[in-house]
A and B are shown apart, each in its own frame.
Chain A
């Protein structure tokens, strides 16, 4: 008799969920160590973190605002990762979505909002989608790793935005790299009076619903899942793997591009270099923690949105830099990956039957 370890055929879902909780707890411990080393009082620090994230209605609404782009980048990453296409470029696609939607705004910005705003979202989707699709096409046509092209394209998008903001789209009245402010009428309307929660949140939820149906109910979704399990086998089943890769990257990039629209037209009210502070990368963490499940992404993104606001409050209350939360997010991911390994095994008492 002893503890027998057996490999499971499919990872246990309950263990995967438990791994998230374990990862959060372990990361909490590491955070405590980091906070202590920075000389902060733990009670004050964790209190501030909670207050900033979910302490009361005001904080919670703000957290939903922060969660909005994260839901979108999370879903964007998830739909690609489902097909084992490693889109690391949500950041650049977000920027291209922002650029495209702002460009369209400069052309037709005087249209009535009810027509304009849908057009802006379509433009954002197209901008991000084409940029993602470019990486997909390079992968399909030349077998160039999408990991590296999307990373390179992130840098290119950042410099392109910077060029636009000191060149053609520069606000002459401002010292900073930014565009002139966007007309009030063209901004995303608030959902609830007295809060900053804007239409973008609903769009994000809608995007989740669409991607969920796409993955689980459509033939494209079937192809995506088949590629994710085994690309070679998918090819034998008659799936055009190259074509699907391009479509997946178009969709993934497009959804990331929507996040550019929500930030420019919902939050900032202008185009700036810092419309995203790594949302594309946080999206990767969120997607993986949510087990690439679109619905779960909403909740993980809200949690991470809370981290952002909590981090700001933490800095005010204790002087510990808010960047702590960035480090913590990566630590959560590493702990999760470690703990999730256990989900691959079964533990039971008994003797090994050979």
Chain B
């Protein structure tokens, strides 16, 4: 066990933590904006999966990861559009809609993959390159952990203050937060509730899409069915554990990512424990975190989360 604690390994684990946190941060921030607007989008997992597939397919078709990234964002936006159309316009039960989106993504991504890609021999795409930041990358410890990552990772971490600024320091952000607490205020001011919900949910979908892109073209050359493996669901837990705040979300995402990085390292060293214990660990931790969260402090959960707004209601 001693070799677990050498400096190189610690740095490697922390660098892996930052990398693994990337899609979780994107997806959780996307869901944060969505939930702040009062819409509970349980389709994060499906949105991410569809975006991961679109990123792979777009990148494969054009040979450019940039095109893949664009395709992933578009897929995220389209899934989010479906969600908000059902939730805000048709006012369908949001829980069921979100689940339907997950099932749709699981079925569609697998079907499209089998039809268009399984015929060729092991289709592969380019993977986004590492982008060490000059000078910063040379700082001892911090450099290899933080500044020898990929472009999307930097973007994810930059999105944390950006989303905070958007939600708490801009007029649009304020309006979105009001939607989640008391949409009638927006309505009585003669402003469109629905329009703002579309904006928030689609913006959130694009962020989730970026998270999906990182899972395929940001990390590996191939697509495999169900490649997101529950990351979207973890993002929902991270939003709760982070108490609906960007900083809390960053912290919660890093905790999950650290656990994951740690289990990869321990598995690599070869500890005599069934590997399934490590694989199940993040999901067990998710339940534990939610229980702990329920006991401490005031919840910032938007009061109108998941409840459709009907004009003229009391």
Contacts and interface: CB of A to CB of B under 8 A. Distances in A.
B is bound to A:
yes
Say whether chain A's binding surface is mostly helix, strand, loop, or mixed.
helix
Interface residues of A, number: 46
Contact of B283 (A38, A142, A155): A155
A156 B237 CA distance: 15
Contacts, number: 123
Q: Which of B82, B90, B99 has the most CB of A within 10 A?
A: B99
A299 interface: no
Contacts of B276: 159-160, 162-163
Interface residues of B, number: 41
Contacts of A207: none
A229 interface: no
B280 A156 contact: yes
Interface stretch (A104-112, A144-152, A346-354): A144-152
A148 B92 contact: no
A152 B233 contact: yes
Given A144-B294, A163-B276, A166-B274, A152 B237 contact: yes
B91 A138 contact: no
Given A145-B290, A152-B283, A152-B287, A86 B95 contact: yes
A327 B111 contact: yes
A275 B90 CA distance: 37
B221 interface: no
A103 interface: no
Contacts of A288: 96
Interface stretch (B102-110, B177-185, B198-206, B245-253): B102-110
A323 B279 CA distance: 26
17 contacts: A138-B287, A142-B291, A148-B233, A156-B284, A159-B276, A166-B274, A285-B103, A323-B107, A323-B111, A326-B107, A327-B107, A327-B108, A333-B96, A334-B104, A337-B90, A338-B86, A341-B92
Given A138-B287, A326-B103, 16 more contacts: A38-B115, A142-B291, A144-B290, A147-B95, A148-B237, A148-B290, A151-B230, A151-B233, A152-B233, A160-B280, A324-B107, A333-B103, A334-B82, A334-B97, A341-B91, A341-B92
Interface of B: 42, 82, 86, 90-93, 95-97, 99-101, 103-104, 106-108, 110-111, 114-115, 118, 230, 233, 236-237, 240, 274, 276-277, 279-280, 283-284, 286-287, 290-291, 294-295
